[in-house]
Amino acid sequence: MKKRIALLLGLVLVITALAGCSNAEGSQEGEFTPGENGVVKVYNWGDYIDESVIDMFEAETGIEVVYDMFENNEEMYPIIEAGGTVYDAVCPSDYMIAKMIENGLVQEINFDNVPNIEYIGDIHMESARAFDPENKYAVPYTYGTLGIMYNTTMVDEEVTSWDILWDEKYSQSIVMYESVRDSLAPALKMLGYSLNTTDEAELQEATQLLIDQKPLVYSYVMDQIKDLMINGEVALGLAYSGEVLAIQEENPDIAFVVPDEGSNYFVDAWVIPSNAENKENAEAWINFLCRPDIAKMNFEYITYSTPNDGAVELLDQEYLDNKDVFPEDEVIERCEVFNYLGEDMDQLYAELWKQVKAASTN
């Protein structure tokens, strides 16, 4: 779900790196030239990997990486569904993976080719059963929570409830996500409803709360929240827990909380589209990312919680002690994973979001 820096869709990064040799000279004994063993076409969230990992994968396997990026699940899905651009490995979020499974857009992974799956913690494989009931299609990559990020120099009260996002004294200093399910989450939880409700009356009630809130909102954003919080341009807003460390490094006045009413617990995972042209290379890619030293590198770069137990054993204690990044059980227990609710509900949510965006700010 989410250290999401907006990058141009369709940007292709073909990174070739091989110490001690060049393409003109050919590969040295025991080494590969990227592309020698084919390609793997990867579709991932923006800024959601340490790019040196791509170099390392190419150098070790000889598989060339063609790498595209998306900004949110709703942008990614129609690209995969249309099939005009074919990808081998994609990293959606939980509820979207369930939708892709239901609609036959992903295929089973051959775990004989992914032995490093052993490093993914049992608790995280169990969490994945919420959207991949038999653990056939998805390998967890990151996890985290949705909460409120706020600037302690601008917010002088204890933040414990979602209702602060409706406080008029923070007018034009609140940011919300450009995402219907994320932005509806606070409203639904304030009203005591499930994040996975299919009750239209409950959803309309939550939508009205967002419409009421709209005059207070500075902007609906995704990746831009990082710069807005670092620069002190806004006081508070929706945020994914994985953004915390990177933002705090730039601005130590930033804090994060999962409100008492509860929130979303998300899992992003790797899947292989049903029309993938390089399935075994995709499995090699996923296996590489599950290697503890590689998972550690990715965690330290993207700062979203890693489900890789081997990587966790390698992390400095200061990371493990950060309860925003590695939340305690009681926080997880008051959170819900987003479920896929079906095509009819997709259409309803889209219509509700149009209502919010079209509402007047006067």
The answer to whether 157 and 184 have CB atoms below 8 angstroms apart is: no
The residue that leads in pLDDT, 30 or 167, is: 167
DSSP per-residue letters across 162-191: GGGGG-GGGTT-EEEES-HHHHHHHHHHHT
Residue 9 pLDDT grade (very low, low, confident, very high; cuts 50, 70, 90):
very low
Ordered by start, the domain boundaries in the chain are 39-143+267-320, 144-265+327-358
Residue 87 has pLDDT above 60, yes or no: yes
Residue 32 pLDDT grade (very low, low, confident, very high; cuts 50, 70, 90):
low
pLDDT tens sequence across 336-347:
999 999 999 999
The answer to whether 309 and 119 have CB atoms below 8 angstroms apart is: yes
**DSSP H or E segment with residue 293:** helix 292-302
Residue 13 has pLDDT above 80, yes or no: no
pLDDT tens sequence across 256-281:
999 999 999 999 999 999 999 999 99
Q: Report the distance separating Cα 143 and Cα 242, nearest Å.
A: 8
pLDDT of residue 72: 85
Written out in words, the top-level CATH class of the domain with range 144-265+327-358 is alpha beta
pLDDT tens sequence across 175-216:
999 989 999 999 999 999 999 999 999 999 999 999 999 999
* CA–CA distances in Å: residue 201 to residues 56, 64, 197: 52, 50, 10
DSSP state for residue 17 in the 8-state scheme: -
The answer to whether 305 and 244 have CB atoms below 8 angstroms apart is: no
Residue partners of 5: CB distance under 8 A and separation at least 6: 46, 47, 223, 226
The CATH number corresponding to 39-143+267-320 among 2.40.50.100, 3.30.530.50, 1.10.4190.10, 3.40.190.10 equals: 3.40.190.10
Do the domains 39-143+267-320 and 144-265+327-358 sit in the same CATH topology, yes or no? yes
pLDDT tens sequence across 55-77:
999 999 999 999 999 988 889 99
* CA–CA distances in Å: residue 289 to residues 46, 51, 76, 138, 325: 17, 12, 21, 13, 20
Tally of CB atoms within 10 A around 159: 18
pLDDT tens sequence across 108-159:
999 999 999 999 999 899 989 999 999 999 999 999 999 999 999 999 999 9
Report residue 282 as tokens.
């995709």
Residue type at position 75: E
